[in-house]
Amino acid sequence: MIKWAARKRRLGSAAPGKMGGHRPYLISGEHRLFVLGEVERDPNVTLHQLTAALAARGLHIHPASVGRFLHREGKSFKKNRSAGRAAQAEA
């Protein structure tokens, strides 16, 4: 089947549909305040812990989405110098 012909029959026009646009952020409103509060309460909270807490509140998203949200909010989780490196493997 030719897609443009099917679109013409279905919609009355073969013109292409709308593409792109802005998709609203999933973590907004009360969820935004909750995540920022959790990070304030425990700065060492992990993305997976935040994702699980949001899922318990009814918002099921990927940990990468939480990471992008925290990046937009200016929160950074960098290793500190006291954490050190892993020990060298023995030969």
Give the pLDDT score at 88: 55
Stretches where the chain sits below pLDDT 70 are: 1, 77-91
Could you tell me the residue ranges of all domains in the chain? 25-75
Give the number of other CB atoms < 10 A from CB of residue 35: 23
Please give the share of the chain, as a percent, with pLDDT higher than 90.
Answer: 58
42-73: burial string, b at 16+ Cβ within 10 Å, e else: eeeeebeebbebbeeeebeeeeebbeebbeee
Query: pTM for the complete prediction?
Result: 0.65
Give the pLDDT score at 19: 86
pLDDT tens for 35-50 read 999 999 998 899 999 9
